[in-house]
Amino acid sequence: MVPDEIEDLGFPEQIPSGDRVLKELWVGSELEGEVDDVGKRSPDARGLLPGGRRTLTQAPLRLCHPGMSFLRCSAESWVSGAQGGSVQAVTLSAAPPSYFRGFTLIALKENREGDKEEDHAGTFQIIDEEETQFMSNCPVAVTESTPRRRTRIQVFWIAPPAGTGCVILKASIVQKRIIYFQDEGSLTKKLCEQDSTFDGVTDKPILDCCACGTAKYRLTFYGNWSEKTHPKDYPRRANHWSAIIGGSHSKNYVLWEYGGYASEGVKQVAELGSPVKMEEEIRQQSDEVLTVIKAKAQWPAWQPLNVRAAPSAEFSVDRTRHLMSFLTMMGPSPDWNVGLSAEDLCTKECGWVQKVVQDLIPWDAGTDSGVTYESPNKPTIPQEKIRPLTSLDHPQSPFYDPEGGSITQVARVVIERIARKGEQCNIVPDNVDDIVADLAPEEKDEDDTPETCIYSNWSPWSACSSSTCDKGKRMRQRMLKAQLDLSVPCPDTQDFQPCMGPGCSDEDGSTCTMSEWITWSPCSISCGMGMRSRERYVKQFPEDGSVCTLPTEETEKCTVNEECYTIPCLLSPWSEWSDCSVTCGKGMRTRQRMLKSLAELGDCNEDLEQVEKCMLPECPIDCELTEWSQWSECNKSCGKGHMIRTRIIQMEPQFGGAPCPETVQRKKCRIRKCLRNPSIQKLRWREARESRRSEQLKEESEGEQFPGCRMRPWTAWSECTKLCGGGIQERYMTVKKRFKSSQFTSCKDKKEIRACNVHPC
């Protein structure tokens, strides 16, 4: 019998299931205390604690409403390793309108009671100290910091070393004065060790594909990031999604992944919205990549689908390259993106996935530390790992939620299979949708056109050349737009097929098997009356080869904003982008549009100008030098000589900057005429040498006398800076003693420079 106090809490009947993107598990929480016979906590309870005290799992009464609360963690298993395993995010939640005031969370080895310290497995890590803390008398358990109403808490759990086996996450919560817990179900979760060979970077290992043939898919991107869905600090002027870039690839190539580091290509998409480097990186992996996925950018980020069609791209997969990844920048932002990583389109039944629908939340590339949409550039050094954004990252974040709720999805991607080619080997038989989706594209692609040959679409089939029941031919054509690789021949631009004249078959045109109509295209105009169309395909032609008379295309009128004159915003098309604001380096460029409607019809809040970053080649840096040194002494004691002066290069020229000018200058000098009589000249040299020697001895004994101070003798000349071509030597004189009564301020250390090794090299 469940007490009324529990039955009246109004909990929902079912626990919400996790979505495919997060692959989350739900499990519960534990609270300190024992439970008596009516399900209330005893005042002196000490349950759930190690050291011989009883845990809640041993209590005599077990109460749990199925929709009350649950925990989720980021994977079904944990990865083994010598020093410990992966980190799992563990979240305790209550489905509104339920709530809880307190909780306790522990992790036990399987089949252990928690009485001993070694019964516990792994360690918890606190995320928000205002919400959670370790229990003071049981440091292996996590509990609330302050008792209050709450619907969600989150901690990290670090898996134990290899060989621990399965781990049981157990929880209890308190709502009012009642404790809830459960041995199995939403308040207890079993996590088992995963083989370390799976590497732990992704939640699940990528298995080999057993499908046959190839499959063709269409990716459609629906942006949902708008001021209505994400009002905090929404950038009204420049919001956009950058061009989509990605590829279908093998498991040996990773475009990006959570827990990995962004490549230079990913960084340029994340920070600048430029797909050029990313496409270059993808094409360099030609053996691992089957198709490069590209779709246009969206300015602004959101518009109704009847105004602008969602961007889309088609790609193919095969048995070895059965994964697809893509990304697009959320602009403006520091380095935020959305996308898919290694989405496996091969099924375990050896077939091809028919449709994938994923809601996307933004992720951080780990290259810029900004916290708002328009934060100034702040490179993250060292670079951090790619991670999903959360609502608790930073109080200034536009996604911040003090309650730690989930981030509202900003986009949705739909991946639909539109064709299969070649013999298929799927175990599960095809349904009607499988057959319908494959027919027309398979016929269109039967010529195996190389990717380096860019054609227009095929024209419709011509009428049969025979008007009788004799066999004839019919033809269709296409135009070769570009041949990217001249070494790869391009197929013919005409295609022929046998046929017979009309009426030669026992069956009429209605025997053509047609597909269902696809959805209507967007209206051709954004205001007033326009046209829209839809198509279907011939699933099976008549056996006699006659033409199907059933229509494959329909058009109809459509009306958008019937009373156009009441719409205040009639805008001209966007102008071309302006030149970059700088001639080199990073800058900005703009484009504008004009308001066409009359002012009296109302105010228009649409953006009339858009701004985006642009990058030009690096700016040239000129050579930088020091100032000229003093002129050296003349290199001759008589007759004609020369003096030199030098300067030093501080920065070499870069990126085409001005080259460095000369660093040595010479000029002539003449002391006096040299005497022609060698004996007299030698005598004078001897006298001068003896005079200098006596002066040097005097200086060494007393030091040179200057007004107000006494100087130390000159030092010896330094070594010449060059062996030839003219170098310099230096010597110094320093102050030995300053007189206290001196009023002079000219006592300073002195320096002399002279030329040396002036002979040519």
Domain residue spans in the chain?
71-192, 214-421
Q: Which residues, in sequence order, are CB contacts of 414 under 8 Å at separation 6+?
A: 219, 220, 222, 355, 356, 357
Residue 467 DSSP one-character state: S
Over residues 159-171, the pLDDT tens digits come to 887 777 888 888 8
- Residue 441 main-chain phi, psi, to 5 deg: -60, -30
Lowest model confidence (mean pLDDT) among 248-257, 270-279, 363-372, 388-397? 388-397
**CATH architecture of the region 71-192:** Sandwich (2.60)
- Residue 107 main-chain phi, psi, to 5 deg: -125, 120
Residue 368, both tokens? 């810029």
Neighbouring CB atoms inside 10 A of 177's CB total: 11
Distance CA 310, CA 296 (A): 10
Q: What's the pLDDT at 62?
A: 29
Instruction: Give me the CATH topology for the region 214-421.
Output: Immunoglobulin-like (2.60.40)
Distance CA 35, CA 63 (A): 10
pTM of the model: 0.40
Distance CA 358, CA 356 (A): 6
Distance CA 227, CA 371 (A): 18
Q: Is 128 exposed, middle or buried (0-12, 13-18, 19+ CB in 10 A)?
A: middle
Q: Is the pLDDT of residue 446 over 60?
A: no
Comparing 71-192 with 214-421, is the CATH topology the same? yes
Beta bridge partners of 126: 155
Identify the band that residue 343 occupies on the pLDDT scale cut at 50, 70 and 90: very high
Over residues 456-493, the pLDDT tens digits come to 888 888 878 776 666 778 888 888 888 877 878 888 78
Where would I find the beta strands (DSSP E) of 301-348?
312-317, 323-331, 336-344
Q: What's the pLDDT at 11?
A: 33
Identify the band that residue 600 occupies on the pLDDT scale cut at 50, 70 and 90: very low
- Which of the two residues, 667 and 306, has the higher pLDDT score? 667
Residue 375, both tokens? 């934060």
Identify the band that residue 271 occupies on the pLDDT scale cut at 50, 70 and 90: very high
Where would I find the beta strands (DSSP E) of 239-322?
240-241, 244-249, 289-295, 312-317
Distance CA 110, CA 327 (A): 41
* Mean pLDDT calculated for residue range 560-580: 73
Contact 208, 323 (CB under 8 A): no
Q: Which range is most confident: 40-44, 58-62, 351-355, 757-761?
A: 351-355
Q: What's the pLDDT at 281?
A: 93
Q: Which residues, in sequence order, are CB contacts of 351 under 8 Å at separation 6+?
A: 211, 424, 426, 427, 428
Mean per-residue pLDDT over the chain, rounded: 75
Q: Is the pLDDT of residue 127 over 90?
A: no
Contact 352, 321 (CB under 8 A): no
312-317: strand order across its sheet: 312-317, 214-223, 411-421, 355-360
The full DSSP string for 199-233 is -SSSSSPPPPP---SEEEEEEEEEE---TTTS-TT
Residue 247, both tokens? 């590829």
376 vs 279, 371, 483, 591, CA distance in Å? 27, 9, 43, 22
Q: What's the pLDDT at 619?
A: 84
* Mean pLDDT calculated for residue range 320-328: 94
* Residue that the structure tokens 């009296």 belong to: 600
Distance CA 302, CA 224 (A): 6
* Mean pLDDT calculated for residue range 448-452: 71
Over residues 179-211, the pLDDT tens digits come to 655 554 577 888 887 644 333 334 457 788 999
Terminus-to-terminus CA distance in the chain, angstroms?
A: 108
φ/ψ region of 374 (left if φ > 0, alpha if ψ in -120 to 50, else beta) reads: alpha
Beta bridge partners of 170: 106, 188
* Residue that the structure tokens 């995320």 belong to: 127
